[in-house]
Each structure stands twice: as structure tokens, then as C-alpha cells.
Chains A and B, each alone.
Chain A
Amino acid sequence: AQKVTQAQTEISVVEKEDVTLDCVYETRDTTYYLFWYKQPPSGELVFLIRRNSFDEQNEISGRYSWNFQKSTSSFNFTITASQVVDSAVYFCALSEAGYGGSQGNLIFGKGTKLSVKP
């Protein structure tokens, strides 16, 4: 069965600190996709990144970076030099490949609430 675990419920850091949000997933499929979404207090879920199971290259986008390791079934997210605007709930999600049925639906983790204090 598919499952996404975000063990950190809440994290609080001071501005300019680096912070890593952990995500561990379970799936029996060989082809799958992993996502990170940001949900600020306004409510909208903002798509941050998609990674497919065949691409283990780490990715960097500005202050954001992602570390995908199939060997440990993890897809961790690091924010470098955090800012107050990074305060939000961050969701990791898994989607399996396939056609029809429930394949393609997002399986969300429970989310990690990040608070960045000035």
C-alpha cells in the first residue's frame, strides 16, 4: 500500500537558519512520482517540485533543494537561509503511474508546519 510519512509535525527555526523537512514513502510500484507542496496560511497549496522514480538527481531551486534517495525511500526538502515568508505547512505527496482508477491520485503526508521567526 502507498504511504507517505512526514515524521516532523512542527519545526520552529530562527530566520537565516537552514532547515530540512523529512519525507519517507512506501510504494510497491517501480514507477512513481513524488511532490512537495507549500500551504501558507492563506490556504492555497503551491506546487514546488515533482520528481519521478527514475531520476535520483538532486535538485536546487534558489534557496530550496531536494534530496531523493531511493535506497532509503526518502525525498527530503531543505530550505537554506530560511525567511519568515517560508512559514507554512509543507506537504510531501506520492502518486503512482498508471491509467484509470485511482492511479495518479496524490497520497499526502500529514504535513510539517514550519515556523520561521525573525
Chain B
Amino acid sequence: DTEVTQTPKHLVMGMTNKKSLKCEQHMGHRAMYWYKQKAKKPPELMFVYSYEKLSINESVPSRFSPECPNSSLLNLHLHALQPEDSALYLCASSQEGVGYGNQPQHFGDGTRLSIL
């Protein structure tokens, strides 16, 4: 079982809906990440939180809004998404804050998002 838990596992939403993806880890990790993965492609980094502060935003459209309520939780708020946003969204965490390249990232199972 993964130590990074993501909910929901599947989500279907219309383009006008508002929904949120949730991620939780209890490993005491200080960095948390959101990735987007299209079929047959590697994961693409979206956001990084380090010590609960947004550290990296890889030019992600504003219809994706991350939030880190505390060191164990990471949310991704979705609004007015487009069909091309359909993908697997992966959450990950690593022990130290961002910038420590030697830290392996531990991933959740992901949320499969479909935009109608």
C-alpha cells in the first residue's frame, strides 16, 4: 500500500464544475508535489510546496489552484477545466524541502480525471 493517499481515485466532471483533489501523507515529509500525466507520457510537474509554502508553479493555468492546509495535506482545486485537462493527477512527497535533489519522491495512486 502506498503511503501517499489520494482521493478520489476517479473523477468525472463537466467543464463548469468545481471539484477538489486531495492528497495526504503521514511520513513527516516537508515537500509535496502535484504532477499531471497524460497517457503514454511521463509525469509533468505542476506545483511544489515546501514547508507548506508554494515553491514552484510550472506556469500552470489558473483553473488549477493548489492549497496546502498543513504539512500532511495537499489539495488541488479545479474549476472550469477543459477536455484536454483529462489526465492522471499524481501527488508525491519527499522528506526534505524542495531543492534537495537526493530525496526520492513517494507517489500516490493518482486520480484519473475525465472532463466531459
Contacts and interface: CB of A to CB of B under 8 A. Distances in A.
B98 A100 contact: yes
Contact of A95 (B90, B102, B106, B107): B102
B43 A45 contact: yes
B101 A104 contact: yes
A43 B90 contact: yes
Interface in A35-78: 35, 37, 42-47, 50, 52
Interface residues of B, number: 25
Classify chain A: how many residues form its interface, as a range: 20 to 34
Interface of A is mostly: loop
B108 A35 contact: no
B67 interface: no
Q: Which of A43, A91, A95, A96 has the most B CB atoms < 10 Å from its CB?
A: A43
B102 A52 contact: yes
Interface string A16-30: 000000000000000
A79 B40 CA distance: 22
Contacts of A37: 107
B101 A45 contact: no
B99 A45 contact: no
A104 B88 CA distance: 22
A45 B107 contact: yes
Interface of A: 31-33, 35, 37, 42-47, 50, 52, 91, 95-106, 108-111
